[in-house]
Structure 1
């Protein structure tokens, strides 16, 4: 039996536990090994900063900014000692740059004071850093330490998880918990990577390209829209 045969049952809400692994398999088959984090970094510190800067900014723009930023300020010591106005200048093309500059500098100082300048590898310690929430902490733990403590829920994961009816929640923390229940721990990084890349390439916020989506037949939102169109 193929996924096409299962589609009528799988698109129902009660079938999400059956749809979830099929969705991930199909996305992995289409997107392949290139569906990984798009931020450029060479250290855990750079990963942490880049992720903090990525809020309300594209990864492409963040990579442009951090290329110059890390060349001038190569580590937490440099960030801690630099005038915050200089950090603002360097990241000024990003959204919320003033608050981000303040948080990044405060984080650098806290790392130096409490962690010997090293990025910690536990969720509580990361969440204690200024400007770091679960999304950033999950990115750092999974991509920087290979530790899967949760699922990264950015705008793409938020949108796709709801469209695919893998969750009914709207709060990112609840969405994360629902996804963690559907997938085994070893797949949590893969889940976020695949949904993020599919959201960027196909399942757009305003006009999703359902006609070329490999999981369209498993998407309740698309199926309902199709039924509506036929009336």
Structure 2
């Protein structure tokens, strides 16, 4: 029997959603205070991704900078991006949001020289540096395993094994990936109903591992992995 709803649905793929090997056990989660640093020797760029939560703001910031860019310029760009988001939260008749201090510090809590390169700060010496944003301190995680693509089959049959039809991982191998499968606690009669209630869905864990099995009772439910 065909699973009638969301047969090809995976939770909307976030560009910076990270899955780690069982050995690392998801060292990175978006709620953790970590900066995910991606570095490509060929392109000579450094990517920075981190989640900032403060002052009614919950936002993931993504930047790509030149490896040779001076640290002072990189920190200024981070500060500018955060400030724009905070200012948008203010009403027109309110004062601008206070400037959030941004700094790079060592494990001893000392500020580093701002004339070093982006690569030296965020890649070469990542183990020794922390990004301070306001009162929050973020550690640096360089080139962690990242899921670039994850898809389920477009047609899913109840009672048969289910596994991803597409899986692409960088800085890691597919075989080391861990999987957790979920289904919605409610059933839906149409895709329109699903979309209208997407933010109110309660997810129930149904299996772990590369493969899971659906049942007839799952028909009409949403699936994600």
TM > 0.5 between the two? no
TM-score by length of 1: 0.31
TM-score by length of 2: 0.32
Q: Which structure shows the higher strand fraction?
A: 2
Higher RCO, 1 vs 2 (CA within 8 Å, ≥6 residues apart): 2
